[in-house]
Structures are given as C-alpha cells and as structure tokens.
Structure 1
Amino acid sequence: MSLFLRSIYLSSGLSLLYIFLLYRSNPLRRLPTTTVTLIFVLGMAAVIPVVLIRYLLPLGNTTTPFSAYVTAGLIEEGIKFLVMACTVWQLGFPDLAEPIDFAIYFGVLGVGFGIYEDFWYIFSGSYEVWTAGDIGRFHEVFRVVVLARTFPGHILFNGLAGYLVGHARFLRMWRARLLWLFLGFLFAVALHGSFNLIASTGGTIPLLSYVLLLVGLFLQLRRAALARSPFRALIYMITEGRDKWPYPRPPIDYLFAEGFSWPGKNKGGMFQVYPVVLSLLILYPLLVAAVYLANRFLIWVLPV
C-alpha cells in the first residue's frame, strides 16, 4: 500500500506541475477552472478503453516502430481525439474563444491521460523489487523510474496538436476543418510514436533533445497564437485606438469573457492554495485509484 500511495502522489504532483505550466501559458486570461478540471478527468477516463483494446488485441509490447506508432501512437491518440471531439470540440464561447484555448484544453486532456500512465509505470516498474524486500535496490529502481516519467510526453503531443485542431475549430469551411483535423491527428501520432521509439532505443540524451525540440515548437506556436489573439487585439483597440476588428464576435463579448481580467491582473484560477491542496491530496489520488480499480475490474471480468 505504501508503494501504491507513493506512486499515486508522485504522478499527481507531476501532473499538477504540467497543468500549472500549461494553464499559465496564456498570459491574457485564465480558462474556466471547472471546464479545465472536467477535461482533465475525462482524459484520465480515456485510459480505460486503451487498456481494453490492448488487452483484447494481441498487439504486443515491443520496442519496434509498429509498437511505437500503432500500439501506442495510433491507438492512444485515436482515443484521445475521440474524447476531444466529444468534449473540447463541443465547447462554446467563452470557454473556447481562440485556438490557444484549444491547445491548453487538449494538453490538459493529455495530462489527464498521462497521470495514470505515470502512476502505472512507477508502480509496476518498482513493484517486484519492493516485494523482494531489497530496500537499497528498490530506491535505486524507484529513482530511475520516476526520473524517466518526468519527461513530458502527452502534454506536448496534445498541446501541439491542439494548435492545429484549434485552428480547424475556428474555420468555417468544413472541408478545411477536416483537413486540419486530419493533420492534427497525424501530427499527434507522429510525435507520440517518435517519443516512444526514442525513449526505448535512443537513450536519455536523444530523448531530452527531442523533448526540448517539442517545447521550443510549442513556445513558437504559442507566440504566434498570442499575436493573433482577439484579447490582445482588444487591448490594442482600447489603448491605441485601433478600429480594425477582424474577429467574428464583437469586442464587448471578449471584454467580459470569463477569465479575462484586463486591465487588472489575472486571477489565480485553479492555482490558488485551496484548489491545489485539494487536487494534490484528495482529488487526483482518488481519481487515479478509481481508474486503477476500474481497469482491474474490467480485466478481471473479461475472458482471458
């Protein structure tokens, strides 16, 4: 039980850190806390169908490109895109006001998916040594596994793909939407598969280089999205008297959109003392434990 709880709290802490960085990536406003939390929970629930598919289909778990791009990339991203289509895509204004919102929501969904994956790798990767009673060996293995799980994966795959899908969400022509959606999906699968392949065959330095490359790409897309933000255009219109307004909704809608506090400071949103403590100590651990029990139950009742 001690290892189980330790694995849960470590994965919860990592996820909370990633959500904090993603949540604050838009300096112009804070997305609604309730919506962000709901998307995170649904991302965790997306693990269950993935586990079932892997259990029912003899796909194997090797370090081959097929495993990286199909068993992991195609299946996991396919399920996450399906959840995204049923949730984030359906959001309206002001929950979803610009493409960067989509990138944040989709990244949070990826973090929700990744929290259980982090927990499972930490727990299962050190369980055998833990039960053997070799404390010194356990601490060594545990430290290595935890370090390996600190590399951000799902948050980057889905955050980056979210920019493409977010662009599609605000297009009017359905053919253009489908094209950008398809490109976003392929992009996520390619990023995910490459990450897994490098992690299993390339070692720490290549994986770190790959992660830094993805972080740099995310920051570049973030900069471009913020430059085209209607909230930034609204600030310029008020402070500099610009009269050009190329956005579909009137400026007044953005001025009173939830989470936009200009000319005051942005509020903390979900990252205030009480929500953080509640999430870290109670909410996230309970959710991880619930998904774990659900997976164990489904595998138990399914035929071998």
Structure 2
Amino acid sequence: MVLFQLASAPVLAGIFYLYIRDRYEKEPWRMVAAGTVYGWISAFLTYGAGTLLEGLLPHEETPFYTAFFSAALIEEGVKFLLMLGLILPNRQFNEPFDGIVYAVFLSLGFAWVENLVYVVHPVMGGYGTALSRAVLSVPGHGLFGVQMGYYLGRRKFGGGRWQRWAAFMVPFALHGAYDYFLLRPERFWDIPFWGLEVFLWILGLRRMRELLERSPFRPTG
C-alpha cells in the first residue's frame, strides 16, 4: 500500500498543480478524469504496440534504438493519437491553454500506470525507484505533454497546420533525447541530460504562461 501511494503521489501532485494553473476557465472534473483515463488506456496500448513491434522487427536494444523507437516513438505516437480523439469532439476545448491541460493529464495518466508497474515490481521496485521516478520520469512525461498540448492549442486557435505535426515531433524528439542520455552508461552524458532537464522546465513554464496570456477569458484592464 505504501509503494502504491508513493507511485501515485507525484502524478496526483502534477494533476493538482496544472488544475490550479488553469486559472481563467477551468475544465470540468469529468474532462479531467477523461484525460487521465485516456492516459491509462495509452499505457496499455503502448505495451501492446511495443510487443507487436518486437515480434515483427527483431532488433538489438541499443541505447539509441530503445530511447527513440522502443520508448519515444511508440509512447508519444499513441498519446498523440489518443489526444486527438480526446480533443477533436470536445466542446470544452475553448482556449489555447486547454491543449496543455488535456495533454498533461493524458501524459500523467500514462505515467501513473508506468510508475505503478516499476515502483511495486518485486525486483526493480522499492523506495529508491519511487524517489528517482518522482524526480525524473513523472515530471518528464508531464513536460513532454506540455509541448504536445502547446502546439495543439496553438493549432486550434489560429496556428498553421505544421503545428499539429510539431505536436508529435517535438515531444518525440525531446523524449528520445531524454531517454538516450539516461541510458548511456558514460558519466559524460549526465551533463547534457541535466541541461535538457533544466531546458524542459524553463520551456514548459514559458509555454504555459504564453497560452494563459492568450486566453479569451483573461480579464482585461
């Protein structure tokens, strides 16, 4: 039970933080829940797609292949497709910042399932795993979601068609680089990893602030 709580705590903290940041026109709780459930579904679909890919294309798990194909391509691809299914028929998607809200809820739903699998695992899991994933993996998924939601929010409210493609390509590239730096055994790769970590936080917070300022519900005067 304690490990379950430790695996869930950073995800719930991220959901609560983003709900607070959505200050001008908050999403209904049912849509918050829907985004999270879509994230759960994406985790199971990712597992199935990864298993299918391994069967169809036998390969050697190098750091590059694992980071960009086994992880980033499948995970971000599945999340992107489910994100489109979540937002396209959604009338509550009525301001640019909502793109970030839904993408992060979906990403954190994915991270919730993934975190539970790792943290409660009898061999890989434990308190150390819970701590490291709370600091790195869960925020990482949330920050990739910020990028996906940013471009989808811009696309819906007057942006060019290229932004829909950027909504997949940017998180894919960032996710792949993030995992690649982590998987490299040489200590040298710690430097670009932590540089990317700082960059993701700075960029993510700027993206959120920018779309909040674009809200049509923002008070003026």
Both structures adopt the same fold (TM-score exceeding 0.5): yes
User: Distance in 2 between the 1:52 and 1:154 partners?
Assistant: 19
| Aligned partners of 2:76 and 2:172 also within 8 Å | yes
Shift of 1:145: 1.1
Alignment map for 1:111-260 (pairs within 5 Å): 111-124=108-121, 127-128=122-123, 142-150=126-134, 151=136, 152-171=139-158, 176-177=160-161, 179-201=162-184, 207-232=193-218, 235-236=219-220, 240=221
User: Distance in 1 between the 2:18 and 2:62 partners?
Assistant: 30
Higher CA-based Rg: 1
Amino acid in the other structure paired with 1:221: R
TM-align CA RMSD:
2.2
Which is further off, 67-76 or 26-35?
Answer: 26-35
What residue in structure 1 maps to residue 8 of structure 2?
12
Shift of 1:120: 1.2
User: Distance in 2 between the 1:61 and 1:156 partners?
Assistant: 29
Amino acid in the other structure paired with 2:144: F
How many residue pairs were aligned?
Answer: 212
What residue in structure 2 maps to residue 55 of structure 1?
51
User: Unaligned 5+ residue runs, structure 2?
Assistant: none
Q: Classify 1:196/1:75 alpha carbon distance in 2 versus 1 (closer, same or farther; 3 Å).
A: same
Does the residue aligned with 1:90 lie in a helix, a strand or coil? coil
What residue in structure 2 maps to residue 249 of structure 1?
none
TM (norm. structure 2) is: 0.87
Deviation per CA, 1:94-119, whole angstroms, max 9, x where unpaired? x1111111111111100000111111
Kindly indicate whether residue 80 of structure 2 is the aligned counterpart of residue 109 of structure 1: no
Q: Classify 1:15/1:180 alpha carbon distance in 2 versus 1 (closer, same or farther; 3 Å).
A: same
Amino acid in the other structure paired with 1:20: F
Kindly indicate whether residue 72 of structure 2 is the aligned counterpart of residue 73 of structure 1: yes
Q: Classify 1:204/1:10 alpha carbon distance in 2 versus 1 (closer, same or farther; 3 Å).
A: farther
User: Unaligned 5+ residue runs, structure 1?
Assistant: 130-140, 241-304
User: Distance in 2 between the 1:68 and 1:213 partners?
Assistant: 19
User: Distance in 1 between the 2:9 and 2:152 partners?
Assistant: 28
| Aligned partners of 2:3 and 2:126 also within 8 Å | no
Amino acid in the other structure paired with 1:9: Q
Amino acid in the other structure paired with 1:158: G
Deviation per CA, 1:63-92, whole angstroms, max 9, x where unpaired? 521211111111111111111111123211
| Aligned partners of 1:106 and 1:159 also within 8 Å | yes
TM (norm. structure 1) is: 0.64
Amino acid in the other structure paired with 1:146: A
Q: Classify 1:79/1:105 alpha carbon distance in 2 versus 1 (closer, same or farther; 3 Å).
A: same
Kindly indicate whether residue 29 of structure 2 is the aligned counterpart of residue 33 of structure 1: yes
Q: Classify 1:28/1:76 alpha carbon distance in 2 versus 1 (closer, same or farther; 3 Å).
A: same
Amino acid in the other structure paired with 2:53: L
Does the residue aligned with 1:87 lie in a helix, a strand or coil? helix
Q: Classify 1:54/1:87 alpha carbon distance in 2 versus 1 (closer, same or farther; 3 Å).
A: same
| Aligned partners of 2:97 and 2:208 also within 8 Å | yes
